[in-house]
Structure 1
Amino acid sequence: MADPLAHFEVVEVNGEPATEAALRVPALNTYGHFTAMQVRGGRVRGRDLHLARLDSATRELFGAGLDGERVRELIRHALGDISDASARVYVHWPEGEKEARVMVTVRPPQTKSDRPHGLMSVPYARPVPHIKHLGGFGQTHYLLAAERAGFDEALLTAPGGVVTEGAVTNIAFWDGSSVVWPQAPSLLGITMALLEPRLPSVRRPVTLADLPSYASAFITNSQGFAPVDRIDDVAFTVDTELMGAVTAAYEAVEWDAI
């Protein structure tokens, strides 16, 4: 039987190598949240945004915060001598325990392919969308359905065809003068949070019926960003000037030491 953890470089719970007993919590309890980051040279873009996300979600879900310095120490411990990686921090708070249980996973680094991506719209919106929570059955279901249909990502929509976000991404549209981020309940991804103030951005409602009015689009997530060349049967131009501006804005973000 294949080891289910074989694709991980490191899995630690509260700074200790994960045991079978420790893994029972994430295996049997999906009430929790996480953040995902790319580490390069022991640094990460948007470190303080990641820490604030973890603290805020822990307060909302469990009634008490999560100390950022503790999180940084646990990530550093899990990384050890690894300088470049994909790291995730998962938070649970089992009943009866005095503090949140923090699991850190470390895998090889990932970078989003810059090839154009196709998206398939689906009638689904994440519950409690402002939290990067666990147990995303709907997201996984529709993402796999999109991939089976020949697309790269699912575009989640609320009633009336209101565009919210991708299954594992945020999406932005270009109207010729501004980057339009859909104004709808969704997760504020860290890459989106870094790019939005560095680009000529606006937020306004976007529906599926509006898509032909936009010339270009792109998606973002913890691995980076990529242009969109189609949503359903609506084609988009890959605007090299726009993507150049996105690249410049992203590369201008400083890397923070973990």
Structure 2
Amino acid sequence: MTTPAAAALPYAEFDGRPATEDDLGRALFFNYGHFTAMQVRGGRVRGLDLHLARLDAANRELFELPLDGDLVRRLIRHALESAGTADASVRVHAYLPPGNTATTVMVAVREPGGMDPAPKSLMSVPFARTAAHLKRPGEFGQTYYANLARRAGYDDALLTLPDGSVTEGAVSNIGFWDGTAVTWPQAPALSGVTMGVLERGLPGAGLKSLRRPVTLDGLGAFRSAFLTNSLGMAPVARIDGTAFTVDAELMGRLAEAYEAAPGEAV
């Protein structure tokens, strides 16, 4: 993925009120927490139930506190209304600053986004995120290796384990296609919401979906590959020296499966 252009700062609310300098300072200096990122169109989100389940599970794991989905939806609606839009990129962050007994929820709203659909080149790197199943801010390792990959002429990094197992992209999930089924790497990684929506929708589009180990030395078994994240999907043209077919038909079927999922009102 190409380096994003500079963008305006998002509109942010903390627990339903406009962010103050103190709020932002607390989030900066006490950033132990988690988040989810989503695309909102017409006040609706595909896979909203997965986003809410992610937030609640992470909050229970990190803070031993539930995070009510109805509360999160109200906070998102309020932030969208305050920002004057129903189409946006939205992030919901959860923190528990020192001394607090209740979770602080920040909702950030900015302009709608999307993934550049151009085929991507990935450089494999030896890095695995701590507690990879959690979506967290401030991931230094991912940014570090993504920048190294771009300097080497690639679009992004592909994270791998010491034994060569493929886990995930720097900010994405990766799927592989062998002509018969979509394979998601069975390894420590974040279960992305776009990936989750596809897993539910692929059988209805006539595509098998499975999880099994994928290794760098086994990439030749696959014809095509693709990335998914909250911004969308894009094909993979190569990983290191292994080239993949950019399959327009496959990408179309993936898009069809994703777009068939109904958007849920926030």
Cα deviations by residue, 1:135-172 (Å, 9 ceiling, x for unpaired) = 20001111111122221221000111110000100000
Q: Partner amino acid for 1:11?
A: A
C-alpha deviation, 1:16, in angstroms: 1.3
The 8 Å contact of residues 8 and 105 in structure 1, kept in 2 or not, is answered as: no
Q: Equivalent residue for 1:168?
A: 171
Instruction: After TM superposition, list the pairs within 5 Å mapping 1:197-216 onto structure 2.
Output: 197-199=200-202, 200-216=208-224
Q: Equivalent residue for 2:19?
A: 18
Q: SS at 2:264's partner residue?
A: strand
| Partner Cα distance (1:244, 1:11) in 2 | 35
The 8 Å contact of residues 12 and 19 in structure 2, kept in 1 or not, is answered as: yes
Cα distance change on mapping 1:210 and 1:76 into 2, 3 Å: same
The 8 Å contact of residues 34 and 134 in structure 1, kept in 2 or not, is answered as: yes
Cα deviations by residue, 1:98-140 (Å, 9 ceiling, x for unpaired) = 3100111101000112111111110000110111022200011
> Percent of pairs identical after alignment?
58
1:256 counterpart = 2:256: no
The 8 Å contact of residues 34 and 134 in structure 2, kept in 1 or not, is answered as: yes
Q: Equivalent residue for 1:83?
A: 86
Q: Partner amino acid for 1:79?
A: L
Aligned length: 254
| Partner Cα distance (2:51, 2:7) in 1 | 26
Cα deviations by residue, 1:16-66 (Å, 9 ceiling, x for unpaired) = 111111112221123100000000011111111111100110000000111
Tell me whether 29-38 or 195-204 shows the greater mean CA deviation: 195-204
Q: Equivalent residue for 2:246?
A: 238
Q: Equivalent residue for 1:190?
A: 193
Q: Equivalent residue for 2:29?
A: 28
- Once superposed, which parts of structure 1, at least 4 consecutive aligned residues long, lie more than 3 Å away? none
C-alpha deviation, 1:203, in angstroms: 0.9
C-alpha deviation, 1:197, in angstroms: 2.7
Q: Equivalent residue for 1:144?
A: 147
| Partner Cα distance (1:169, 1:184) in 2 | 14
Q: Partner amino acid for 1:106?
A: V
C-alpha deviation, 1:181, in angstroms: 0.3
| Partner Cα distance (2:12, 2:138) in 1 | 19
The 8 Å contact of residues 172 and 182 in structure 1, kept in 2 or not, is answered as: yes
Cα distance change on mapping 1:160 and 1:49 into 2, 3 Å: same
The 8 Å contact of residues 123 and 157 in structure 1, kept in 2 or not, is answered as: yes
Q: Equivalent residue for 2:70?
A: 69
C-alpha deviation, 1:6, in angstroms: 7.4
Structure 1: runs of 5 or more not aligned: none
| Partner Cα distance (2:49, 2:221) in 1 | 36
The 8 Å contact of residues 11 and 106 in structure 1, kept in 2 or not, is answered as: yes
Q: SS at 2:210's partner residue?
A: strand
Q: CA RMSD in A?
A: 1.3
TM-score (norm 2): 0.93
Tell me whether 6-15 or 80-89 shows the greater mean CA deviation: 6-15
Instruction: After TM superposition, list the pairs within 5 Å mapping 1:129-140 onto structure 2.
Output: 129-140=132-143
Cα distance change on mapping 1:193 and 1:6 into 2, 3 Å: closer
Of 96, 99, 102, the match for 1:96: 99
